[in-house]
Chain A
């Protein structure tokens, strides 16, 4: 009996794997063009990275004065994107709000792609990637609980595993026409909610805990991280959902999209409010610590490389808020998508460069080194984003047909409706 089950599960899995591969290899011109585009970016990124490994991080614009830059900025932004799956999970599972529940699985797939990119951004930023195993016990030594970075390593990897298990389990079961195992999924999903908040809080604490950097050493940082994450994550998802609705038989009700846009408006309000509070404190008290905020918004002396970015971020966030708060504009597909792009770009700027660079400029002894990413950094970053998008594309390519009931194991094919239900029930 035991033996049979093992053989059986191997057969089931190989069916799933072969089927998935078939799905991935089938696609129209637009699909292949997209993959080729991503492939080219990845290739360019790999070449740039191999140069960087050979020569050292000197190929980036980072120096002792500004020792973190574009890579860590992207890492921070993407942790937010990954955390934002929760904005969908909370209403879906806790308030049992059905229209959103059907699309939660895509939030989880997005989280998986985002965490993968996060880990890659950390990997390309470290000076000795050959020693990354020094972090992994029992081979290495993880300085837990003293180092917040150790906490971050743990929560990011756990969050990845939780999302990966939930998403693949639901899809795998649906593929075989079965409902997922409640006892496995429900606790994991419930766990993923505090974990999503956790990964972003820990990432904020990573900066927050450094008294040497007054720009980061503000207790508003973690709440502001969460608020902006709840804007940027859903912004990507909304665009993806609209694309899915357009190009597949996948049905997503307008109500779901509008609801997410509404939630984004509240999150954006909170984000702007927290930024405003911080700006008030800095400018009104007018201590020496104002220098960092001034460098970001106005520049210091002859140094104002980042000023246009700072005000673009403010403008984009304000535009996004305006478009999402008004029911008329969030229901109009054009203004909705403008709002999504504005949110994405606004948060990307403020949370990437806008967080890291002013945090380190001027340096702890007052020197201003104007950081601006080099071509190597841009190429490596583009390559990593391409890997993330590739992963997301391929996962969608498999997940969508399964949830539509179009792609199932023929042997134990259940009625199509069951599979759809199985995914739709992703909550219980």
Chain B
């Protein structure tokens, strides 16, 4: 009796799910607000079932009049990689296999900014190392993103506030975007991602740090789950030397605007015309 009811319920659930996916818009990109709510409720239910933990998935949209930008002070960064691990914790990146959205490159002061001589696997007893400087690189949130253009299914796009996001439910895992990204910012789930249950961050966003399945691409989202609520990204908060700056580029009084207008700023691979929203600068 119980099993029959269970069967009927499961069958009805599956049928409802199928109809929902068959009728409505399938990409989160085009889902209207009410459908988005239903989809997100479904996500939360599934996470509860799979992970045995309440995961809250926010659907916060872009704030009108806000366009995010980032600046990183190369003269301050000491290469401690605290940002890397704060990002992993905040954004539910897989611990095994390891996925890290931020990569820090150690460079020789003698050679300047030259990635062909950079070392991402530096491992000295203490940082910073004499004669070296450090460049952390994550998604540059390009205004002209080469990655979204190539996606064959429209599973990745730039939001109105400038954040480039991925629809993990729609991505087919062809990795064309990874070939197109000039900054190595996109990462693929080569196997089932895994995070110890007590380390999962339950405060998530549907376009950001909610747990990802195997076989899809993921990337930095400027901590969309935090920044759309007016908070700083995790990497900005954790940086012990204050090298990381973040804010609304449309706000004339913001720190980020001050830096862009008054400091010597540069962007990576400017010649590719990707127009990054991520600036590097020298404060001193």
| Interfacial residues, chain A to chain B (CB-CB below 8 A) | 55-58, 62-65, 67-68, 122, 125-128, 131-132, 134-135, 140-143, 146-150, 153, 206-207, 209-213, 288, 291, 359-360, 362-367
Contacts and interface: CB of A to CB of B under 8 A. Distances in A.
A105 B182 CA distance: 44
A67 B178 contact: yes
Given A122-B174, A149-B152, 16 more contacts: A57-B173, A64-B184, A65-B184, A67-B179, A125-B174, A128-B172, A128-B215, A131-B170, A132-B172, A142-B153, A143-B153, A147-B151, A148-B150, A211-B182, A211-B272, A363-B184
Contacts of B178: 64, 67
B156 to A, nearest CB: 10
Interface of B: 26-27, 97, 103, 105, 114-118, 120, 137, 146, 149-155, 170-176, 178-184, 186-192, 214-217, 272-273
A127 B176 contact: no
28 contacts: A57-B190, A57-B215, A64-B184, A64-B188, A126-B172, A126-B173, A127-B172, A127-B188, A127-B214, A128-B216, A134-B26, A134-B155, A134-B172, A146-B150, A147-B150, A149-B152, A149-B176, A150-B152, A206-B176, A210-B180, A212-B272, A213-B179, A362-B116, A365-B103, A365-B137, A365-B184, A366-B115, A366-B118
Nearest first, the 9 closest Cβ-Cβ pairs linking A and B are A127-B173, A127-B215, A366-B115, A212-B182, A58-B190, A56-B191, A58-B191, A149-B152, A67-B178
Contact of B153 (A63, A134, A288): A134
A386 B26 CA distance: 36
A364 B181 contact: yes
A68 B175 contact: yes
Nearest to A144: B152
A210 to B, nearest CB: 5
A288 B179 CA distance: 19
Nearest to B193: A56
A191 B178 CA distance: 34
Contacts of A146: 149-150
B150 A135 contact: no
Contacts of A213: 179
Contacts of B186: 64
A128 B105 CA distance: 32
Contacts of B154: 141, 143
A143 B151 contact: yes
Task: Give the interface SS of chain B, mostly helix, strand, loop or mixed.
Answer: loop
Nearest to B217: A127
B28 to A, nearest CB: 12
A291 B115 CA distance: 12
B277 to A, nearest CB: 17
A135 B190 contact: no
Most buried by B among A57, A149, A212, A362: A212
A62 B190 contact: yes
A128 B149 contact: no
Contacts of A128: 171-173, 215-216
Contacts of A359: 179
A203 B59 CA distance: 38
Contacts of B188: 57, 64, 67, 127
A363 B182 CA distance: 9
Contacts of A127: 171-175, 188-189, 214-217
A211 B115 CA distance: 17
Contact of B172 (A63, A131, A206, A288): A131
Nearest to B181: A212
A250 to B, nearest CB: 41
B273 to A, nearest CB: 8
Contact of B174 (A58, A149, A360, A367): A149
A300 to B, nearest CB: 9
Contacts of B183: 364-365
A65 B118 CA distance: 15
A57 B174 CA distance: 11
A147 B176 contact: yes
Q: Name, among B114, B149, B173, B192, the residue most crowded by chain A CB atoms within 10 Å (CB to CB).
A: B173
Nearest to A356: B179
Given A126-B174, A150-B152, A365-B184, A141 B26 contact: yes
B153 A56 contact: no
Contacts of A125: 174-175
B86 to A, nearest CB: 20
Contacts of A140: 26, 153
B66 to A, nearest CB: 26
Contacts of B115: 365-366
Contact of B191 (A55, A153, A206, A288): A55
A135 B184 CA distance: 25
A211 B153 contact: no
Contacts of A211: 146, 182, 272-273
A153 B180 CA distance: 18
Contacts of A366: 114-118
B150 A149 contact: yes
Contacts of B149: 146-147
Contacts of A126: 172-174, 215
A31 to B, nearest CB: 38
Contacts of B103: 365
